[in-house]
Amino acid sequence: MKLLKEKIEREGRVLSENVLKVDSFLNHQIDPVLMQAIGEEFAARFKDAGITKILTIESSGIAPSMFAGLTLGVPVVFARKRKSLTLSDNLFSSKVHSFTKDVTNDISVSKDFLSNEDVVLIIDDFLANGQAALGLLDIVGQANAQTAGVGIVIEKGFQTGGSIIRERGVRVESLANIKSLVNGKVEFFEEEPTV
Amino acid sequence: MKLLKEKIEREGRVLSENVLKVDSFLNHQIDPVLMQAIGEEFAARFKDAGITKILTIESSGIAPSMFAGLTLGVPVVFARKRKSLTLSDNLFSSKVHSFTKDVTNDISVSKDFLSNEDVVLIIDDFLANGQAALGLLDIVGQANAQTAGVGIVIEKGFQTGGSIIRERGVRVESLANIKSLVNGKVEFFEEEPTV
């Protein structure tokens, strides 16, 4: 997605060979115009997949998911990273390790909002080691729902998450796929064709 | 806001005299159509306030803020509840106690995204004891930015937060203001006039 790649090149900060910081438009400050374009792009790519629900994870997955949900006409559910006292025990849950923050979180989704009749589009901001996506896929599986695919804003294609998910036969659509962050420079894989 | 009140009456669950659960459209599953209407309502109410930035707090403030930001043409910044390892020390921060979850969080905003030139609209999902709003006001103050007001999706008007904030001279716009949750029934205050 050209608009997104240009934004990454202009505002992304390469902190190491593994870390790209995009706090100015995605992970802390959020650009609503870009999020709308991203959400509409996810919606376009999955428009024939019969999506009934979008599943994401707090917090940075919420903004792009909102616009995808609006365009597809379906609700968005965000998995919580900690069990809230106001949520009941009526939960699907899975464990997700964040290598960036070096913590393992329980992520959970109420059984009220995911069922075996759902066709789910999973959306997240980053795909690196794939831990969050695997946790969300696990939750979709617990609900006996169907996964239509995974929509990722920025894939770090030099890490293993994308391969792990695709090898399971899950369709992954990344709007920007990073080949390398070596020498402080962002290099992208060629754009994958829009399906 | 009629649409919101009807949704609360239809889907809100009164768990006690103090707790209203709106997990089906705001706090866990999110209704993008309603969020768009809410965001546009905030934008309409604050359209002449010269807003340059929306400040909210993860996670449930993000969705309504996105649509307000899109309509007003300004970026959204969400305060984080824990310091992330990928954020630097370049932070404004404040302490916020959540009575619902009985935890005190550090909330923080990077100094890169809030300055003394900003006119800030604070948006949050709930206003009850006012702790989150006070923390966000504190952060706006640390940045020497100006607060245009506070936009709240659901105010629990029988708790003290609204009074505390308004007594400071801060404009508070609540789209639904709850008078009572007694006997399992949601009773609203009369709609405040749109300014």
Q: What is the pLDDT of residue B142?
A: 97
Q: Is residue A16 part of a domain?
A: no
**Predicted local distance difference test score (pLDDT) of residue A192:** 59
Residue B98, pLDDT score: 81
> Residue B29 falls within a domain, yes or no?
no
> Residues A58-77: what's their mean pLDDT?
98
> Rounded to an integer, what distance in angstroms lies between the CA atom of residue A82 and that of residue A57?
11
Report the alpha-carbon distance of residue A105 to residue A88 in Å, rounded: 18
The per-residue pLDDT for B159 is 97
Please list every residue in chain A whose beta carbon sits closer than 8 Å to the beta carbon of residue B33. Answer: 70
C-alpha to C-alpha distance for B73 and B53, rounded to whole angstroms? 9
pLDDT for A105: 86
The helix/strand/coil state of B87 is: coil
Residue B131 within any structural domain of the chain:
yes
**Mean pLDDT value of segment B143-152:** 98
Mean pLDDT over the full length of chain B: 94
Nearest Cα to Cα of residue A46 among A26, A66, A63, A71:
A71
Flag whether residue B87 sits within 8 Å of chain A, measured between CB atoms: yes
Residue B83 clears pLDDT 90, i.e. is over it: no
Q: Which residue has the higher pLDDT, A118 or B83?
A: A118
pLDDT of res. B108: 95
The pLDDT, as a whole number, for residue A49 is 98
Asked whether the predicted pLDDT for residue B195 surpasses 80, the reply is no
Contacts of A12 (CB under 8 A, 6+ apart): A20, A21, A22, A186
Amino acid A60: pLDDT? 97
Work out the pLDDT band at B102, boundaries 50, 70, 90. Answer: confident
* Residue B16 DSSP label: S
Q: According to the annotation, is B128 in a ligand binding site? A: yes
Classify residue A2: in a domain, yes or no: no
Higher pLDDT, B191 or A130: A130
Q: Do strands A20-21 and A13-14 pair parallel, antiparallel, or not at all (unpaired)?
A: antiparallel
Residues 97-116 of B with CB under 8 A from A: 100-102, 109-110, 112-113
For residue B82, give its domain range: 41-176
What's A170's domain CATH number? 3.40.50.2020
Instruction: Give B38's DSSP letter.
Output: H
**Structural domain includes residue A45:** yes
Residue B8 lies in a domain: no
- Shortest CA gap A113–chain B (Å): 7
Q: In the structure, what pLDDT confidence band is assigned to residue B88 with cuts at 50, 70 and 90?
A: low
Q: Tell me the per-residue pLDDT of A120-174, one tens digit each, with 9 for 90 and over.
A: 999 999 999 999 999 999 999 999 999 999 999 999 999 999 999 999 999 999 9
Hey, are the CB atoms on B112 and A78 less than 8 Å from each other? no
B19 domain residue, yes or no? no
Q: Give the number of domains in chain A.
A: 1
Residues A148, A49 contacting (CB under 8 angstroms): yes
Residue B62 lies in a domain: yes
Check pLDDT > 60 for residue A186. Answer: yes
Tens-place pLDDT, residues B33-62: 999 999 999 999 999 999 999 999 999 999
